[in-house]
């Protein structure tokens, strides 16, 4: 197990390096120049010399391989550089927002899992009855409805029915849990719905598969109570594929809340991302991409470890 | 419909199935899976239900357990009386309380019938805590006792293991332990040993027989293997196309069968105890489609004794006391035994004058099991084939027989050059096949073809039969003209007993036997001279098996083909082969011509294999002492030193641990690898 984890952690290095190469050169292929945008953005006249000086200050005048080498050197020493736009360290920029994003992602996952597992199970056990139809309608709607639209509906209905709007400023949960939750629960629900729908459908189909297995028939032939057949014999086997989906969706949420954050006016990673991209803030974009890639890989690793915990056939 | 009177008024049967009808509702219509089946099981009795796949034998037993697949399966008529209660009218909870308590069931696939994520201990203890209300500690103690009873060594440790850590035979023992847990009155075993090797099969069946006799449990064995029926059953029910066609004691059904289907089955099964006949007698045709069953006798279409009256349905009626048959002509039928012995015995063809076609010398094939990850680890080596030498003469069939994991399929793959040999020589018609490459190999491939085991998965489901058979022709550009390809496909289909119009069909539209014929036609397309047949009939029913074996023999005679025939079924190998090689754990144990090998096996492993395989004759079986080989097949990752068989060999001595025995001539034309001979 230890050597497996060490192995997998080592494997992260080449994967992340690949991501780094890709994002670094992709960014530089895309037209646009941060110095132009920053200094001439509001139509002012700035001399070419000033622009050149600014480029030099940011290190953008060096050849690409040298720039890349600088970046890599920085990463290796945990110096991720400064935002080209604000001049603040990117770690600070990200730290200010990541808390909110992670909190929403975790809340959405909890909501999703709490909804998805019972619904998926019921749907599978009452397959092709009205219960199944209602649940499937609910889940397919979750896939079809974009979460930003659902978010707008939530805000509109809160406003028109309760004449209340969630707070706009972010309060960390350890400062005031009520204020925090009353702000974040709504976006968490809006994205959690889609998340729940994805997971519930996975749970449904894997329970249907598992219930056809020979060992379920064996359990019944032993006279095991039907609820025990489901909870003890079917559930653990059926959850394995569901866990993969839960993990991937979670990682996706951390970086993928762009539109929802806009709707709920949240200052999270998604919003920062959009800003960074529109300003061509290379350092910030690169660091965020690396961060999200790391989260993806880490979540995958956690999923694999959970697999081993649930399935005795998998041992590392 | 009942036979209760024959057992005396006092002997109420334990289980009585009366006129059972079961339907399956499918998208293509209603499948009448069981129609009017009745049989009884008395206390302490072993009853066999025998028939081919789809005849309804498993559906009947699942209905007894009320475990039919829902919602498709429906019981539409009949009663299942168990200890005075009709199981079909019980509530779900009442039925649950009977399952595992009074009636236990053992399933076919030990590999999939145990829950992979739950410990062995929990799975054995479950019925104890549920039905008998035992505490955790009591159940654990009883589980250890049960595991000892079914011959699992080191039970304490095994309790905490998981199914994947046990071999197939061990898992089936666990299933039996689960079945025995609550001292049931009846055990239903559905093909309990079909997935197991023959020596393990013998161990498991002996164990079951022993236990049910000792504990007074009634046992229903559902099987397609007539040898098992003959060895173990007191009474036999023969099913065909959803109906019972014959019922009687084992002696009655085997010695004087009174239904043409039963007679046909007895004749078409290749037998270990009989010399090879000219051809296997077979039951021609296919079982009827149960979506639209024919009226009248279901077997009439395939029956050689058919007359006009057969258009009406025959009742299952007594022929002779206990012995029931559903045939209008039951009393006029000839004796099966007489008919069989009348079949001509062919002397083995003299192949010594024939030139050698394939020559394998000191062949070895090792597979590396790689360690995972960047940091590596130690790779381990599976020595699938070790120092194997044999020759095959032109026109000869060499049977390669052995249990799973013995390396017989690997040899086939290496000879086909689907895998490269690790060491050794393979010469085909004087050419170096082991090292041939490029264009040379292309040429050789045209002459060496293969027929695979599983006709269900070895044909591409997206290709029509015509495309499958025609593909080799276009790959080798033998027929540039597409119309000629079509004609050639038609010819090939006719050669294997199908019809040219079938070229338009897709594999799923064909039966198992027809698919295997397509596989044979594909192999013949390039007019090869040598064909590797890898278990070509083991997925097929007995009556279909006979048809395919006959076809292979006909083709061999007509085209002078040479076969390497790989199989685990000793009787099939005996029937088709000229010479037989017996393999164990990557090595050849014995090679001899067929008649010598079966009449006077020299190697202890060959003897054990022949002892373990049951013969479909209750008289012979009763006279044979059960001599089941003990122990499990060692892992090829870590084979025993010296003679690989010494761990299970009844004749092993100290030297066997150290000396790797040479394959040497122990009697004229009979080679064996054993230092004790």
Nearest chain B residue to A127, by CA: B71
User: Is residue A205 domain-resident?
Assistant: yes
Geometric angle at alpha carbon B140, from B134 and B146, rounded to 5°: 100
Query: For the residues A19-36, what does the mean pLDDT come to?
Result: 84
The token pair at A190 is 């809006």
Residue B273 DSSP one-character state: S
Geometric angle at alpha carbon A128, from A127 and A130, rounded to 5°: 105
Distances (CA, A) of B110 to A72, B101, B170, B474, B514: 55, 21, 9, 43, 29
User: Is residue A183 domain-resident?
Assistant: yes
**B375–A3 CB contact, under 8 Å:** yes
Q: Cis before residue A245, ω within 30 degrees of 0?
A: no
Number of domains in chain A: 1
- Report the C-alpha gap between A24 and A289 in whole angstroms: 10
Chain A residues within an 8 Å CB radius of B118: 232-233, 236
pLDDT digits (tens, 9 = 90+) for B219-245: 999 998 888 999 899 999 999 999 999
Q: Is-contact A50 A247, C-beta < 8 A? A: no
Lowest-pLDDT range of A98-102, B2-6, B146-150, B467-471: B2-6
pLDDT digits (tens, 9 = 90+) for A151-210: 889 889 988 998 888 877 888 888 888 888 888 888 899 889 999 999 999 999 999 999
Confidence bin at B10 (pLDDT 50/70/90)? very low
Nearest chain B residue to A232, by CA: B118
Interface test with A, best of B59, B110, B126, B139 (most A CBs within 10 A): B126
Q: Is-contact B644 B673, C-beta < 8 A? A: no
Query: For the residues B498-517, what does the mean pLDDT come to?
Result: 88
In angstroms, the separation between the Cα of residue A33 and the nearest Cα of chain B is: 41
The token pair at A97 is 């927002």
In angstroms, the separation between the Cα of residue A46 and the nearest Cα of chain B is: 53
Chain A residues within an 8 Å CB radius of B104: 221-222
Residue count (chain B) = 677
Residue B153 pLDDT exceeds 70: yes
**What pLDDT, on the 0 to 100 scale, is given for residue A255?**
67
User: Is residue A209 domain-resident?
Assistant: yes
The closest CB to that of B99, out of A213, A222, A312, belongs to A222
**A220–B67 CB contact, under 8 Å:** yes
Query: For the residues B323-337, what does the mean pLDDT come to?
Result: 79
B77 bridge partner residues = B21
Q: Quickly tell me which residue has 């037993």 as its tokens.
A: B61
In angstroms, the separation between the Cα of residue A75 and the nearest Cα of chain B is: 23
pLDDT digits (tens, 9 = 90+) for A269-308: 888 888 888 888 888 999 999 998 998 899 989 998 888 8
Interface test with B, best of A4, A15, A222 (most B CBs within 10 A): A222
**A224–B126 CB contact, under 8 Å:** yes
pLDDT digits (tens, 9 = 90+) for B51-69: 888 888 999 999 999 998 8
Collect all residues from A whose CB is shorter than 8 A from any CB in B: 3-4, 6-8, 10-11, 128, 213-215, 217-226, 228, 232-233, 236-237, 310-313
**What pLDDT, on the 0 to 100 scale, is given for residue A264?**
86
- Report the C-alpha gap between B393 and B396 in whole angstroms: 5
Sheet containing strand B73-82, strands side by side: B29-41, B15-26, B73-82, B85-86
In angstroms, the separation between the Cα of residue B459 and the nearest Cα of chain A is: 25
What share of residues in chain A are helix, strand, coil (percent, to 5)? 80, 0, 20
**What pLDDT, on the 0 to 100 scale, is given for residue B3?**
39
User: Is residue A251 domain-resident?
Assistant: yes
Sheet containing strand B423-428, strands side by side: B380-393, B356-369, B423-428, B431-432
Q: Is-contact B520 B510, C-beta < 8 A? A: no
Confidence bin at B278 (pLDDT 50/70/90)? low
In angstroms, the separation between the Cα of residue B105 and the nearest Cα of chain A is: 6
**B96–A4 CB contact, under 8 Å:** no
**A223–B100 CB contact, under 8 Å:** yes
What count of CB pairs under 8 Å joins A to B?
93
The closest CB to that of A224, out of B116, B117, B130, belongs to B130
In angstroms, the separation between the Cα of residue B107 and the nearest Cα of chain A is: 8
In angstroms, the separation between the Cα of residue B265 and the nearest Cα of chain A is: 30
Kindly state the percentage of chain B with pLDDT values over 90: 41
pLDDT digits (tens, 9 = 90+) for B342-370: 444 454 556 667 889 999 999 999 988 76
**What pLDDT, on the 0 to 100 scale, is given for residue B497?**
86
* Mean model confidence pLDDT for chain B: 86
Chain B residues within an 8 Å CB radius of A7: 372-375
Chain B residues within an 8 Å CB radius of A232: 118
Confidence bin at A110 (pLDDT 50/70/90)? very high
Residue B253 pLDDT exceeds 60: yes
Q: Is-contact B28 B291, C-beta < 8 A? A: yes
User: Is residue A186 domain-resident?
Assistant: yes
Nearest chain B residue to A307, by CA: B117
Specify the pTM: 0.84
Nearest chain A residue to B128, by CA: A222
B670 bridge partner residues = B592, B667
Decide which of B239 and B292 is more confident: B239
Query: For the residues B583-602, what does the mean pLDDT come to?
Result: 92
Nearest chain A residue to B131, by CA: A223
pLDDT digits (tens, 9 = 90+) for B415-467: 999 999 999 999 999 889 888 888 888 888 889 999 988 777 888 989 999 99
**What pLDDT, on the 0 to 100 scale, is given for residue B378?**
64
Nearest chain A residue to B61, by CA: A221
Interface test with B, best of A215, A229, A239, A240 (most B CBs within 10 A): A215
**What pLDDT, on the 0 to 100 scale, is given for residue B521?**
92
The closest CB to that of B115, out of A6, A128, A215, belongs to A215
pLDDT digits (tens, 9 = 90+) for B628-645: 678 888 887 788 989 999
The closest CB to that of B114, out of A6, A215, A224, belongs to A215
Q: Which domain covers residue A145, as residue numbers? A: 99-272
In angstroms, the separation between the Cα of residue B52 and the nearest Cα of chain A is: 21
User: Is residue A278 domain-resident?
Assistant: no
Which CATH number characterizes residue A246's domain?
A: 1.10.3720.10
Residue B122 pLDDT exceeds 90: yes
* Mean model confidence pLDDT for chain A: 87
Collect all residues from B whose CB is shorter than 8 A from any CB in A: 65, 67, 71, 92, 96-101, 104-105, 107, 109, 112-119, 126-127, 130-131, 162, 164, 175, 178, 372-375, 377
The closest CB to that of B131, out of A8, A214, A223, belongs to A223
The token pair at A166 is 């969630």
**What pLDDT, on the 0 to 100 scale, is given for residue B7?**
46
User: Is residue A277 domain-resident?
Assistant: no
Lowest-pLDDT range of A29-43, A117-131, A210-224: A29-43
Interface test with A, best of B70, B182, B373 (most A CBs within 10 A): B373
DSSP secondary structure string for all residues of B153-217: SSHHHHTTS-GGGS-HHHHHHHHHHHHHTT--SEEEEESTTTTS-HHHHHHHHHHHHHHHHHHT-
The token pair at B268 is 């078409």
- Report the C-alpha gap between B342 and B299 in whole angstroms: 24
User: Is residue A164 domain-resident?
Assistant: yes
The closest CB to that of A214, out of B71, B112, B374, belongs to B112
**What pLDDT, on the 0 to 100 scale, is given for residue B2?**
37
- Report the C-alpha gap between B499 and B501 in whole angstroms: 5
In angstroms, the separation between the Cα of residue A230 and the nearest Cα of chain B is: 12
**B115–A219 CB contact, under 8 Å:** yes
**Helix axes A130-144 and A177-211, enclosed angle (nearest 10):** 130
Nearest chain B residue to A129, by CA: B71
**What pLDDT, on the 0 to 100 scale, is given for residue B126?**
95
Query: For the residues A19-28, what does the mean pLDDT come to?
Result: 91
Q: Which of A248-262, B368-382, B388-402 has the highest mean predicted lDDT (pLDDT)?
A: B388-402
Distances (CA, A) of B137 to B140, B144, B184: 5, 11, 21
Confidence bin at A141 (pLDDT 50/70/90)? very high
Nearest chain A residue to B117, by CA: A311
Query: For the residues A233-250, what does the mean pLDDT come to?
Result: 90
DSSP secondary structure string for all residues of B224-248: S-HHHHHHH-SEEEEEETTEEEEEE
Distances (CA, A) of B597 to B396, B589, B591, B602: 16, 12, 8, 8
**B115–A237 CB contact, under 8 Å:** yes
**Helix axes A282-310 and A64-76, enclosed angle (nearest 10):** 50
What share of residues in chain B are helix, strand, coil (percent, to 5)? 35, 25, 40
DSSP secondary structure string for all residues of B101-165: TTEEEE-S-TTTSS-TTS-HHHHHHHHHHHHS---HHHHHHHHHHHHHHTT-SSHHHHTTS-GGG
pLDDT digits (tens, 9 = 90+) for A64-81: 888 899 889 988 888 888
**What pLDDT, on the 0 to 100 scale, is given for residue B377?**
57
Residue B66 DSSP one-character state: T
């Amino acid at each position: 197990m230890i050597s497996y984890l060490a192995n997998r952690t080592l494997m992260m290095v080449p994967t992340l390096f690949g991501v780094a190469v890709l994002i670094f050169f992709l960014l530089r292929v895309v037209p646009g120049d941060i110095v132009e945008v920053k200094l001439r953005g509001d139509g002012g006249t700035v001399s070419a010399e000033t622009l050149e000086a600014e480029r030099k200050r940011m290190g953008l005048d060096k050849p690409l391989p040298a720039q890349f080498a600088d970046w890599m050197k920085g990463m290796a020493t945990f110096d991720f550089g400064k935002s080209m736009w604000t001049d603040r360290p990117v770690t600070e920029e990200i730290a200010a927002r990541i808390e909110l994003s992670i909190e929403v992602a975790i809340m959405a996952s909890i909501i999703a899992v709490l909804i998805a597992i019972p619904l998926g199970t019921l749907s599978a056990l009452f397959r092709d009855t009205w219960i199944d139809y209602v649940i499937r309608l609910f889940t397919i709607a979750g896939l079809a409805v974009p979460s930003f639209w659902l978010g707008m509906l939530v805000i509109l209905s809160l406003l028109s029915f309760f004449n209340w709007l969630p707070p706009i400023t972010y309060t960390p949960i350890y400062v005031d849990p009520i204020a925090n939750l009353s702000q974040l629960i709504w976006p968490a629900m809006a994205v959690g719905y889609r998340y729940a729908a994805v997971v519930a459908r996975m749970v449904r189909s894997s329970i249907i598969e598992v219930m056809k297995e020979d060992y379920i028939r064996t359990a019944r032939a032993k006279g095991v109570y039907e609820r025990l057949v489901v909870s003890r014999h079917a559930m653990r086997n059926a959850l394995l594929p569901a866990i993969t989906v839960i993990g991937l969706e979670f990682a996706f949420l951390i970086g993928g809340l762009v539109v929802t954050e806009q709707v709920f006016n949240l200052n999270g990673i998604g919003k920062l991302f959009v800003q960074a991209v529109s300003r061509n803030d290379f350092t910030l974009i690169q660091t965020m991409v690396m961060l999200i890639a790391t989260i993806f890989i880490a979540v995958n690793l956690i999923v694999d470890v959970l697999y081993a915990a649930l399935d005795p056939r998998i041992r590392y | 419909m009942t036979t209760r009177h024959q057992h005396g008024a006092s002997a109420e049967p334990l289980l009585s199935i009366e006129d059972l009808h079961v339907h399956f509702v499918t998208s293509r219509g209603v499948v009448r899976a069981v129609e009017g089946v009745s049989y009884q099981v008395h206390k302490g009795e072993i009853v066999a239900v025998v028939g081919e796949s789809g005849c309804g034998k498993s559906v009947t037993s699942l209905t007894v357990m009320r475990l039919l697949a829902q919602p498709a399966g429906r019981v539409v008529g009949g009663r299942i009386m168990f200890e005075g209660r009709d199981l079909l009218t019980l509530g779900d909870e009442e039925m649950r309380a009977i399952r595992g308590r009074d009636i236990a069931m053992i399933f076919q696939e030990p590999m999939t019938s145990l829950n992979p994520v739950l410990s062995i201990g929990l799975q054995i203890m479950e019925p104890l805590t549920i039905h008998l209300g035992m505490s955790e500690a009591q159940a654990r103690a009883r589980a250890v006792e049960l595991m000892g009873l079914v011959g699992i060594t080191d039970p304490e440790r095994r309790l905490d293991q998981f199914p994947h850590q046990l071999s197939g035979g061990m898992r089936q023992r666990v299933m039996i332990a689960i079945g025995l847990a609550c001292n049931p009155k009846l055990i239903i075993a559905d093909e309990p040993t079909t997935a197991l090797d023959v020596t393990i099969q013998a161990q498991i069946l002996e164990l079951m027989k022993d236990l049910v006799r000792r504990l007074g449990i009634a046992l229903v064995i559902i099987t397609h293997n007539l040898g098992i029926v003959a060895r173990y059953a007191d009474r036999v029910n023969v099913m065909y196309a959803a109906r019972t066609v014959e019922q009687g004691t084992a002696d009655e059904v085997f010695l004087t069968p009174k239904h043409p289907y039963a007679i046909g089955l007895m004749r078409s099964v290749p037998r270990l105890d009989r010399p090879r006949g000219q051809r296997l007698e077979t039951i021609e045709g296919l079982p009827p489609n149960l979506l639209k069953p024919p009226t009248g006798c279901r077997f009439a279409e395939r029956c050689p004794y058919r007359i006009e009256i057969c258009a009406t349905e025959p009742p299952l009626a007594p022929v002779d006391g206990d012995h029931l048959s559903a045939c209008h002509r039951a009393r006029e039928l000839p004796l099966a035994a007489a008919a069989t012995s009348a079949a001509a015995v062919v002397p083995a063809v003299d192949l010594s004058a024939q030139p050698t076609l394939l020559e394998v010398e000191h062949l070895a094939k090792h597979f590396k099991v790689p360690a995972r990850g960047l940091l590596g680890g130690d790779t381990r080596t599976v020595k699938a084939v070790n120092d194997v030498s044999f020759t095959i003469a032109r026109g000869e069939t060499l049977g390669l027989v052995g249990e799973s994991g013995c390396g017989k399929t690997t040899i086939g793959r290496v000879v086909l050059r689907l895998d490269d040999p690790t060491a050794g020589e393979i010469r085909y018609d004087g050419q170096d096949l082991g090292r041939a490459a490029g264009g040379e190999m292309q040429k050789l491939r045209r002459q060496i073809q293969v027929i695979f085991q599983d006709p269900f998965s070895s044909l591409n489901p997206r290709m029509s039969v015509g495309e499958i058979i025609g593909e080799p022709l276009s790959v080798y550009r033998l027929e540039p003209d597409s119309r000629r390809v079509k004609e050639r496909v038609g010819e090939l289909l006719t050669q294997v007993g199908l019809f040219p119009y079938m070229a338009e069909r897709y594999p799923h539209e064909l039966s198992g036997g027809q698919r295997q014929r397509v596989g044979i036609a594909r192999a013949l397309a390039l007019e090869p001279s040598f064909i590797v047949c890898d278990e070509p009939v083991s997925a097929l029913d007995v009556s279909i098996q006979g048809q395919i074996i006959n076809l292979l023999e006909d083709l061999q005679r007509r085209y002078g083909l040479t076969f390497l025939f790989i199989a685990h079924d000793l009787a099939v190998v005996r029937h088709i082969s000229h010479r037989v090689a017996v393999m164990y754990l990557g090595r050849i144990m014995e090679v001899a011509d067929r008649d010598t090998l079966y009449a006077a096996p020299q190697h202890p492993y060959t003897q054990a294999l022949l002892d373990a395989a049951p013969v479909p004759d209750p008289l012979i079986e009763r006279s044979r002492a059960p001599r089941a080989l003990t122990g499990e097949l060692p892992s090829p990752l870590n084979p025993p030193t010296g003679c690989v068989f010494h761990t299970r060999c009844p004749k092993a001595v100290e030297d066997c641990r150290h000396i790797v025995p040479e394959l040497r001539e122990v009697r004229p034309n009979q080679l064996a690898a054993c230092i004790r001979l």
